[in-house]
Structure 1
Amino acid sequence: MRLIFAGTPDFASLALQSIIAAGHEVALVLTQPDRASGRGMALRASPVKELALASGIAVLQPSSLKKDFSAQEHIRTLGAEAMVVAAYGLILPQTVLDMPTFGCINIHASLLPRWRGAAPVQRAILAGDAVTGVSIMQMEAGLDSGPLLLCESLPIAAEDTAATLTDRLALLGGRLIVDALAGLPLPPQAQAEGGVTYAAKIDKAEAALDWRLPAAQLARCVRAFNPFPGASCAVDGTLLKVWRATAIAGHGQPGEILAAERSAIVVACGEGALRLDELQKPGGKRLAAAQFLVGTPIAAGSRCALPVT
Structure 2
Amino acid sequence: MRVAFFGTPSWAVPVLDALNRHHQVVLVVTQPDKPKGRGLKPAPSPVAQYALEHGLPLLKPERLKGNEEFLETFRAASPEVAVTAAYGKILPKEVLEVPPYGFLNLHPSLLPKYRGPAPVPWALIRGEKETGVAIMKTEEGLDTGPLYALWRTEILPEEDAVALAERLRDKGIELLLKVLQDLPHLTPTPQEGEASYAPLLTKEEGRIRFGESAEAIYNRHRGVQPWPGSYFFHEGRRVKVLKMRPEPGQGEPGVVQAVDREGVLVGTGEGLIRLLEVQPEGRRPMPAADWARGYGVLPGTRLE
When normalised by structure 2's length, the TM-score is 0.95
Question: 1:10 maps to which residue?
Answer: 10
What is the CA–CA distance in structure 1 between the aligned matches of 2:174 and 2:251, rounded to whole Å? 48
Per mean C-alpha deviation after superposition, the further-off stretch among 197-206 and 288-297 is 288-297
Residue 227 of structure 2 corresponds to which residue in structure 1?
Answer: 228
Instruction: Tell me the equivalent position of 2:126.
Output: 127
Matching residue's letter, 1:189: T
Which residue of 1 is the match for residue 76 of structure 2?
Answer: 77
- Cα distance between partner residues in 2 of 1:206 and 1:301: 26
How far off its partner does 1:60 sit? 0.6
SS in 1 for 2:159: coil
Question: How many angstroms does 1:40 deviate by?
Answer: 3.2
Shift of residue 65, structure 1, vs aligned partner: 0.6
> Residues 296 and 44 from structure 1, CA distance in 2 versus in 1: closer, same or farther, beyond 3 angstroms?
farther
Counterpart for residue 86 of structure 2: 87
SS at match of 2:249: coil
Map of 1:258 onto structure 2: 257
Report if the CA contact (8 A) 2:263-2:287 is conserved. Answer: no
Partner Cα separation in structure 2 for residue 73 and residue 196 of structure 1:
35
| Alpha-carbon distance in structure 2 between the residues aligned to 1:175 and 1:288 | 40
> What corresponds to 2:161 in structure 1?
162
Q: Aligned partners of 1:76 and 1:252: how far apart in 2? A: 63
Q: Report the Cα distance in structure 2 between the residues aligned to 1:61 and 1:129, rounded to whole angstroms.
A: 36
Shift in Å, 1:50: 1.2
Name the residue aligned to 1:60: 59
Deviation readout 1:211-237 (Å, 9 max, x if unpaired) = 111111011111101101111100122
Q: Secondary structure at the match of 2:227?
A: coil
Q: Give the Cα separation in 2 of the matches to 1:177 and 1:291.
A: 48
Letter matched to residue 74 of structure 1: T
The Cα RMSD (Å) is 1.5
Q: Does structure 2 retain, via aligned residues, the 8 Å contact 1:109–1:133? A: yes
Supply the distance in 1 between the matched residues of 2:66 and 2:202 (Cα, whole angstroms): 27
Cα displacement (A) at 1:155: 2.1
Verify the 8 A CA contact 1:18 1:175 in the aligned structure 2.
Answer: no
- Seen in structure 2, the aligned counterparts of structure 1 residues 69 and 286 have a Cα distance that, compared at 3 Å, is farther
1:217 maps to a residue whose letter is A
Q: Point out the more displaced range, 89-98 or 295-304.
A: 295-304
Alignment of 1:138-153 (within 5 A): 138-153=137-152
Aligned to 1:199, what secondary structure does the other structure show?
coil
Q: Provide closer, same or farther for how the CA distance between residues 278 and 38 of structure 1 changes in structure 2, counting only shifts above 3 A.
A: farther
Partner of 2:109: 110
Once the two structures are TM-superposed, the CA of residue 287 in structure 1 deviates from its matched residue by: 3.1
Once residues 121 and 250 of structure 2 are traced to their aligned partners in structure 1, the CA distance between those partners, rounded to angstroms, is 28
Helix, strand or coil at the partner of 1:198: coil
Q: Structure 1's 130 and 211: CA in aligned 2 closer, same or farther, altered over 3 A?
A: same
Find out whether 1:298 has 2:304 as its counterpart: no
Distance 2:136 2:119 in 1: 15
Q: Which residue in 2 is equivalent to 1:286? A: 285
Q: CA deviation at 1:297?
A: 4.5
Residue identity matched to 2:156: A
CA distance in 1, matches of 2:62, 2:299: 51
TM-score (norm 1): 0.94
Q: Structure 2 regions of 5+ residues with no counterpart?
A: none
SS at match of 2:94: helix
Cα distance, 1:256 vs structure 2 = 0.4
Give the structure 2 partner of residue 211 of structure 1.
210
> Equivalents in 2 of 1:272, 1:4: separation in Å?
50
Q: CA deviation at 1:43?
A: 2.3
Cα–Cα, structure 1 residues 294 and 255, in superposed 2: closer, same or farther, change >3 Å?
A: closer
Assess, with a 3 A threshold, how the Cα gap between structure 1 residues 300 and 140 changes in structure 2: closer, same or farther. Answer: same
Q: Bigger shift: 253-262 or 95-104?
A: 253-262
Q: Is the 8 A contact 2:259 2:289 kept in 1?
A: no
> Which residue identity lines up with residue 29 of structure 1 in the other structure?
V
**How far apart in 1 are the matches of 2:34 and 2:296?**
38
- AA at the equivalent of 2:81: A
**Contact residue 31 and residue 61 of structure 2 kept, 8 A:** yes
AA matched with 1:198: Y
- Give, in whole Å, the separation in 2 of the partners of 1:10 and 1:288: 30
| 2:211 match: secondary structure | coil
Matched-pair contact (CA < 8 Å) for 2:292–2:298? no
User: Where do 5+ consecutive residues of structure 1 fail to align?
Assistant: none
